[in-house]
Chain A
């Protein structure tokens, strides 16, 4: 995914703003990465270079940290992030069929974003709601006892929400 010049510029400004709050102690690297990702949704190369300079470490080390942890993304996510819990209880109660249902409905694979950047699909480690298995987290909201048919319903409700905000916006 190629980033536009505009996206790069925003990323740079935001990263610099965040870095101002932290001293050069390397222990601050992960909190900074988290804040940049919270703001931008991902961590682009320009941000990595900026952090490397701030903490006085090689850029490849920032890249090493970024690619080590599940949480960080190198490319922009979808507006709605669908996360399928892959905990034991969810797995034994059919998380893989739920995953396949999402993949079928969104026509993307896990780790991908739909072309309109509306949805991205991810697998997450156990979210700790084992008693409600299988679980899907959409944005921050946890949905329990999901079935393949409920996937359609969930998707529909998010699309409906979007339509309503759109209509609300034009009024």
Chain B
């Protein structure tokens, strides 16, 4: 069943129950996001906290990736409250991302750059110091280079690895130490990774990249 909703004054149609984020993206309305995945309809991770929007009738901004569309919904993707919240979340992510666009393989094709451009945000955090984690770059796999200091923990590579039939990488530890890694933290080259490159395609930033030939 189709429903009609209004996003930023524009009327769009979407299938009832679709998450608002996908309804917006399918209609050419950009909402920043890193962790969302279409196939995770049951329980979206909702971890990056960048897709906040304001919906009429809701007391506070909500994440678009977790909100099923309903008839007559009126959405504002960039109210002042939303903008402040997204800016804060983005600054937090950037305070934990090794910023090296010039040498980064994702330069020009990076979701962080896209968000910064779309929302007129600085890539370099203004108020917050950079939190270093001192994690070494792993270039042990045949084709793939993994730089955990650039990882934004969106989990897309983990899904891609599993969809490919492998399960080499996963989340481990918790809190600030949370990391995408292999079982026992062994280098990718020793983990059974077949260098299929699916994780590289999935990575929205430059954390997983192909080796330069």
Contacts and interface: CB of A to CB of B under 8 A. Distances in A.
A and B touch in the complex (CB under 8 A): yes
Contact of B167 (A45, A49, A60, A67): A60
Interface in A94-151: none
Contacts of B170: 58, 60-61, 63-64
A50 to B, nearest CB: 12
A60 B173 contact: no
Interface residues of A, number: 13
Contact of A68 (B173, B181, B182, B184): B173
A45 B186 CA distance: 11
Which of A45, A61, A62, A63 is most buried by chain B, counting CB atoms within 10 A of its CB?
A63
Given A45-B184, A48-B184, A63-B184, A68 B174 contact: yes
A59 interface: yes
Contacts of A61: 167, 170
A58 B183 CA distance: 9
Given A58-B167, A60-B167, A61-B167, A45 B183 contact: yes
Which of B162, B172, B173, B174 is most buried by chain A, counting CB atoms within 10 A of its CB?
B172
Which of A59, A60, A63, A64 is most buried by chain B, counting CB atoms within 10 A of its CB?
A60
B30 interface: no
Nearest to A68: B174
Contacts of A68: 172-174
A104 B181 CA distance: 34
A49 B182 CA distance: 13
A111 to B, nearest CB: 13
**Chain A contact surface mostly:** helix
B174 A60 contact: no
Interface string B160-190: 0010000111111110000001111000000
A59 B184 CA distance: 9
A52 B174 CA distance: 20
Contacts of B169: 60
Contact of A64 (B162, B168, B171): B171
A64 B184 contact: no
Nearest to A65: B172
B183 A67 contact: no
A68 B174 CA distance: 5
Contacts of A67: 172-174
Contacts of A60: 167-170, 172, 181-183
Contacts of A62: 183
B23 to A, nearest CB: 32
A75 B130 CA distance: 32
Nearest to A62: B183
Interface string A10-39: 000000000000000000000000000000
Interface of A: 45, 48-49, 52, 58-64, 67-68
Given A63-B170, A63-B183, 18 more contacts: A48-B183, A49-B183, A52-B183, A58-B168, A59-B183, A60-B168, A60-B169, A60-B170, A60-B182, A60-B183, A61-B167, A61-B170, A62-B183, A63-B184, A64-B171, A67-B174, A68-B173, A68-B174
- For the complex of A and B, the 9 pairs showing the least CB-CB separation, nearest first, are A58-B167, A60-B170, A59-B183, A60-B183, A63-B183, A67-B172, A67-B173, A64-B172, A64-B170
Interface of B: 162, 167-174, 181-184
17 contacts: A45-B183, A45-B184, A52-B183, A58-B168, A58-B170, A59-B167, A59-B183, A60-B167, A60-B170, A60-B182, A61-B170, A62-B183, A63-B170, A63-B181, A63-B182, A64-B171, A68-B174
